[in-house]
Structure 1
Amino acid sequence: MLQKLKASLGIGAAKVDTVLESASVFQGGLITGNVHVQGGDIEQAIEAINLKLCTEVKVENDNGTSHVNMILSAVRIMEPFTIGAGEGREIPFEFKLNDETPITALVARKNQCRVWLETALDIDFAIDPKDRDYLEIKPLPVVQSIIAMIESEGFDLVKTDVEKGYLNGGAFSSKSGCYQEIEFKGGGFFGAKEIELSFILDGEMVHCLAEIDRRFGGSGDEYRSFCLGINAGDNEVQTAVEAILSR
């Protein structure tokens, strides 16, 4: 009885550790690995093993700004089973990234984007053991080309974050309930611009919504959007970027 009570408090209970084949993956890619479950001091019933893809989201309201964790997608990889005292079990898994997963592998002055995979054992009447593994989400080559081309025009990548809400680009819209903003600033003063890009991967297409701040030029803000295939060439990328930068 004492051992069961201790296990319910997390003392001597089963533990979980997720080992990823690689913590670095491209947008829309596949996460693979193994979940290691190690039994504790007593036999325990595991109702499920749940994987959750999470990010941190900025929320703005009348009370100010806060940050909350948001689940982008989740999957159950194991049906109920019993783990014996001291028993070890290894469960392989595959987990496809949500298409709207924020990019984290960006060289910005202030990169506030974080993505992680959380693994949890669902155990009745006990503290659920959890494991968190941070991921590096790399931009697809076409997205990297867009960013590099904007930087080559004299813009600095100054900030990235994830905000609560939805995007509507006319021909596309977001679904996850949050979106990433990648912010650039021009190098001049009176002619300076701020550009914020948000990308949505959709199968073989990449959608982009650009918010262009022309405050110093006196024209106000405007929004422009475009769509490119994930295998778009340099000429297509250049045409799209020029449309963003043109006055």
Structure 2
Amino acid sequence: MFKKLKASLGIGATKVDTILHNESVYQGETLRGTVHIKGGDVEQEIDSITLKLCTEVKVESDSGSSYQSFVLGHIQANDPFTIQPGEEKEVPFELKLHDETPITAVNARLNQSHVWVETVLDIDFAIDPTDRDYLEVRPLPAVQRVLSTLEREGFTMVKADVEKGQLRGNGFTSLSGCYQELEFQNSGMFSKKEIELSFILDGSVIHCLAEIDRSFGRGDTYRSFTISRDASEGEVSQALASVLNV
């Protein structure tokens, strides 16, 4: 009875540890790994193992800004089973990244973009039987060409974050419920400009919405463009012209 009581309080209970086979992934790739489960002091029923793809989003309200976890997608990795005291099990899984998963591998002065996989064991009365593993999400080559082109044009990425909400561009709409903003600034004295880019992967193409903030009170304006996943530097430069020439 004492061991059962300890397990219900999370002491001597089943433990979970997720091992990712590819902690560094490109946008849209499939994440693979194994959930390692070790039984505690008593037999326990595992109703489910859920893996959640999460990010942190900024939420604006009348009282200010706050940050909260946001689930981009999830899978159930197993059917219900019983694990015996001290028993060890391994459950392999595959989890495709949502096409709008934020990029975390960016060269920003302030990078507030984070993505992780949260593994949750559904065990009666257990206290927080979870495991969190952070990912490095790299930009696709075409997206990296966009970022590199802006840098060659004298812009520096000053901030990267994720906001709750929806984007609408010319012929595309975001679907996840959140979007990433990559904020760039140049150092021009008379042509100072801020550009915020948001990318949406959509099958074989990549959509981009740009918000351009011009100096001297000329106000904000928006431009959007679409490039293929294998866009060349020339194609990227041509698409960016509508943003840089504002």
* Aligned: 1:7 with 2:13: no
Amino acid paired to 1:197: L
The question of whether the paired residues in 2 share the 8 Å contact of 1:193 and 1:215 is answered with yes
The alignment status of 1:232 with 2:231, answered yes or no, reads yes
Tell me, yes or no, if the aligned pair for 1:16 and 1:36 is still in contact at 8 Å.
Answer: yes
In structure 2, what residue type is equivalent to 1:237?
V
Give the CA deviation at 1:215. Answer: 2.8
**Partners of 2:154 and 2:187 within 8 A in 1:** yes
Higher mean C-alpha displacement, 3-12 vs 132-141: 3-12
**Correspondence 1:100-115 to 2 at 5 A:** 100-115=100-115
Please give the alpha-carbon distance, in whole angstroms, between the structure 2 residues aligned to 1:37 and 1:128. Answer: 15
Equivalence for 2:222: 223
1:242 counterpart letter in structure 2: A
Runs of 4+ in 1 over 3 A off after TM superposition: none
Q: Which residue of 2 aligns with 1:241?
A: 240
Instruction: Indicate if the aligned counterparts of 2:170 and 2:225 stay in contact, CA closer than 8 A.
Output: no
Partner of 1:25: 25
The count of corresponding residues between Structure 1 and Structure 2 is 246
1:78 is paired with a residue of what secondary structure?
Answer: coil
* Alignment-derived partner of residue 136 in structure 2: 136
**Alpha-carbon offset, residue 128 of structure 1:** 4.2
Secondary structure of 2:102's aligned partner = coil
The superposition leaves residues 129-183 of structure 1 with CA deviations (integer Å, 9 ceiling, x where unpaired) of 1100000000000000000001100011110000110000031001111100000
2:49 corresponds to 1:49: yes
Residues 1:152 and 2:146 aligned together: no
Offset of residue 112 of structure 1: 0.5
Q: Distance in 1 between matches of 2:244 and 2:70?
A: 33
Offset at 1:241?
Answer: 1.1
Q: Percent identity?
A: 60
When normalised by structure 1's length, the TM-score is 0.98
Q: For the residues of structure 2 that align with 1:38 and 1:109, how far apart are their CA atoms? A: 41
Letter in 1 for 2:226: C
Report if the CA contact (8 A) 1:105-1:136 is conserved.
yes
| TM-superposition CA deviations, 1:203-224 (whole Å, max 9, x none) | 11100000000133x4311100
Amino acid at match of 2:111: N
Q: Is the 8 A contact 1:122 1:128 kept in 2?
A: no
Partner of 1:184: 184
Query: Contact 1:167/1:179 (CA < 8 Å) preserved in 2?
Result: yes
Q: CA deviation at 1:45?
A: 0.2
Post-superposition shift, 1:232? 1.1
Superposed, which structure 2 residues align to 1:56-75 within 5 Å? 56-75=56-75
Q: Is the 8 A contact 1:119 1:130 kept in 2?
A: yes
Which residue is 1:79 aligned to? 79
Whether contact under 8 Å (1:215, 1:221) holds in the other structure is no
Rounded to whole Å, the distance in 1 between the matches of 2:93 and 2:82 is 19
- Structure 1 residues without counterparts, runs of 5 or longer: none
Distance in 2, matches of 1:81 and 1:189, equals: 65
| RMSD between superposed Cα atoms in Å | 0.9
Q: Distance in 1 between matches of 2:126 and 2:231?
A: 51
1:125 Cα deviation (Å)? Answer: 2.7
Measured in 1, the distance between the counterparts of 2:89 and 2:136 equals 27
Offset at residue 2 of structure 1 (A): 1.4
CA distance in structure 1 between the aligned counterparts of 2:113 and 2:189, rounded to whole angstroms: 28
